[in-house]
Chains A and B, each alone.
Chain A
């Protein structure tokens, strides 16, 4: 049987029917752009971006992505609060969320309680980002 996590062209995917669609919520404009372009060029994903939690949640409701990538520490609403709101909303609770963070010592219990599928720690390997995200989402399904 073919691996559902990979397209025939061997690029990682979270959606076998169409291009994987991601909402990236990241306040740093430079990192936001480099992650967006890396996932678009490298993995062929469609990446919508938001600079803060409030705009990000609105975007998630609008585009119904396959995945939400959210920075943990942002001004205003932080990543945990974004998770809490998405997980408690019937229209968004099934969308997997992966946290991005530069913090090394996260409380695993707090991460689990947030509803996020996992954490990717900065600095991350850009070329390995899409496969790492897919792996986190697949692990959770098992």
Chain B
């Protein structure tokens, strides 16, 4: 749950529900970016992956979902690396990104379950 004593419980629950509801879309944006880069060089896709992962890494802890942070940070680093290579990615790094996204997705399911059962 969100780490603050300053908000009413019903507001906290609403915020947590909104965060949980948006997690799937965040993962979908990252998957699409990785898929695009696996097909062709794309600095835009690398930038999208980097920004989406960065945003999640910076936000997750505020919602008590800190287990998402290492996976999101890993994806952010890969997005940065690919962006610096003008959107080019090695096959090995794409495998690493897919694994990180799989781990993130598993953690997202756990977080959604936890936030919804509060």
**How many angstroms between the C-alpha atoms of A34 and B15 in the bound complex?**
7
Query: Within the complex, what minimum Cβ distance (angstroms) separates A48 from chain B?
Result: 18
Q: Is the CB of B6 within 8 A of A28?
A: no
Is A31 a contact partner of B6 (Cβ separation < 8 A)?
no
Grouping DSSP codes into helix (H, G, I), strand (E, B) and loop, the B interface class, with mixed when no group exceeds half, is helix
Chain B residue nearest to A101 (CB atoms) is B58
Assuming the contacts A31-B62, A126-B2, asked whether A41 and B55 have C-beta atoms less than 8 A apart, the reply is no
Instruction: Please pick, from A31, A73, A74, A75, the residue contacting B59 in the complex, using a CB distance under 8 A.
Output: A31
- Chain B min CB distance to A9 (Å): 14
* Cα separation A30 to B21 with both chains bound (whole Å): 10
Interface string of B43-72 (1 = CB under 8 A from A): 000010001001101111111001000000
Is A15 engaged at the interface, CB distance under 8 Å to the other chain? Answer: no
In the assembled complex, A38 has its CB within 8 A of some CB on chain B = yes
State whether B7 touches A31 (Cβ < 8 A): no
* Chain A residues with a Cβ closer than 8 Å to the other chain, count: 23
Interface contact B4-A126, CB-CB below 8 Å: yes
Residues on B with beta carbons closer than 8 Å to the beta carbon of A42: 4, 6-7
Instruction: Decide if B11 touches A41 in the complex (CB within 8 Å).
Output: yes
| Residues on the A chain within 8 Å of B66, using CB | 123
Out of B3, B19, B59, B60, which one reaches A125, CB within 8 Å? B3
* Chain A residue nearest in CB terms to B54: A73
Known: A123-B62, A127-B4. 6 other contacts (CB 8 A): A28-B58, A30-B19, A34-B4, A37-B7, A102-B58, A126-B2
15 intermolecular pairs with C-beta atoms under 8 Å apart: A27-B51, A34-B2, A37-B7, A37-B15, A38-B6, A41-B6, A42-B4, A42-B6, A42-B7, A122-B58, A123-B66, A126-B4, A126-B6, A127-B3, A127-B6
A interface residues, Cβ below 8 angstroms from B: 27-31, 33-34, 37-38, 41-42, 71, 73-75, 101-102, 122-127
